[in-house]
Amino acid sequence: MLKTRLLRTIILPKEESEEFTYAEIEEGTHFRGHNLWLLVISMVIACIGLNINSQAAVIGAMLISPLMGPVVGLSFGLSIHNKDLVKKSLQNWGIMIVTSLIASTIYFVVSPFDSETSQLEAFKEATIFDCMLALFGGFAWFLGIIRKEAIKVIAGVAVSTACIPPLCTAGFGIAHLNFDFFFGGMYFYLINCVFIGIGTWILSIVLGFQKYYLEKVERRNKKYIWIVTVASILVLFPSVLITIKKFNNEKLKESADQYVALIQKKHPEIEIVKYKSKEENGKNYLDITILNDQSFVDNKILKEADSLNQNIEIRWHYAPDSGKSELIKLQEQINELRAELKKTNN
């Protein structure tokens, strides 16, 4: 009794027939008319959002974009060995990528704003977590397709997997001849497509779609499992390296913040203007700009501050003389305000 209830809870029933699901997936692969113009419009909206750092605009563009249809169609076609669906999906996928790159490149060529915003930077480097998002997004997408009402699920997957912004980032790279942005954006988009496709391919087998369309699939499955596994590892490897690099950068930044806070607490006479941590040639550095005179570097107090940290090499810099007086005045004003605030609180 309990086992039956548990099975009823976790089982994935098909709300549509296999033929209806196939027709729905095939329809989503087409890029003509409404779908084509929706893609162009959504690309322009996403480019504007990335250009002015508007997260709302980027999310809106992802909601209306029809980007994932050919990717799902391609993986589903490979799963059921349907050459016509695979061919159609590949053709429309190519049209979709070219159209997206043209639309985004034209926008960034025309746009007067050339700055590399934080939104653009976010889609230049893909980590292993983005691969996981795409994989589970592929699961959710396919589950949405086999349901009768899938609009909310599909819209949510479009936002979570973020297929449009990487193509906009690649377009930014083409427009400004910045190959870091181009290759970074294209790789980000590639891992989204690959792992969305893998999610679709896995569920098409688990839910019996492959078995419905094919006979003697066991031998074919073993071959395709090896192909999918090798392809996944090859695509995943760069994202693992990027993840490790980001993790190390975060650890370095955290250590730098703690170190600077310790210096300021132990030696308040050191006036720190700014500081930045970075890794160069396998070694960690912390560049600190101070307001104190250059002769201060020979002071025992400063040498003691250097010895507080063992893993980061400190490089001291000095604020230019032209800006020192202004910074000193600003510091004096801050001190006066702090004194006033303390009196008010008392």
Q: Kindly state whether residue 227 falls inside one of the protein's structural domains.
A: no
Each residue of 261-291: pLDDT tens digit? 877 777 777 777 788 888 777 778 888 887 7
In the chain, which stretches have pLDDT less than 70? 1-16, 148-161, 212-225, 228, 292-310, 319-329, 331
> Do strands 283-290 and 272-280 pair parallel, antiparallel, or not at all (unpaired)?
antiparallel
* 83 and 169 share one domain: yes
Question: Of 214, 237, 268, which residue constitutes the final position of a domain?
Answer: 214
Q: How far apart are the first and last CA of the chain?
A: 69
**Residue 275 pairs with which residues in a beta bridge?**
288
Query: Is the whole model's pTM more than 0.75, yes or no?
Result: no
Cβ neighbours around 67 below 10 Å, total: 28
Question: Of 167, 193, 214, which residue constitutes the final position of a domain?
Answer: 214
- What pLDDT does residue 153 have? 57
For 68, the 3-state DSSP assignment is coil
* Cα distances (angstroms) measured from residue 327 to each of 202, 272, 297, 334: 61, 11, 19, 10
How many domains does the chain divide into?
A: 2
Q: Kindly state whether residue 7 falls inside one of the protein's structural domains.
A: no
Q: Give the span between the Cα atoms of 104 and 110, in whole angstroms.
A: 10
| Structural domain of 275 | 251-345
Q: Kindly state whether residue 181 falls inside one of the protein's structural domains.
A: yes
- What pLDDT does residue 102 have? 92
* 127 and 197 share one domain: yes
Q: Kindly state whether residue 242 falls inside one of the protein's structural domains.
A: no
- What pLDDT does residue 297 have? 59
Q: Look at the alpha carbons of 236, 237, 242, 243 in this order and tell me if their dihedral is positive or negative.
A: positive
For 273, the 3-state DSSP assignment is strand
Residue 166 has what DSSP assignment? H
Each residue of 123-166: pLDDT tens digit? 888 888 888 888 888 888 777 777 766 555 565 566 556 788 88
- What pLDDT does residue 322 have? 45
Q: Kindly state whether residue 219 falls inside one of the protein's structural domains.
A: no
- What pLDDT does residue 310 have? 63
128: domain CATH number is 1.20.1080
- What pLDDT does residue 156 have? 59
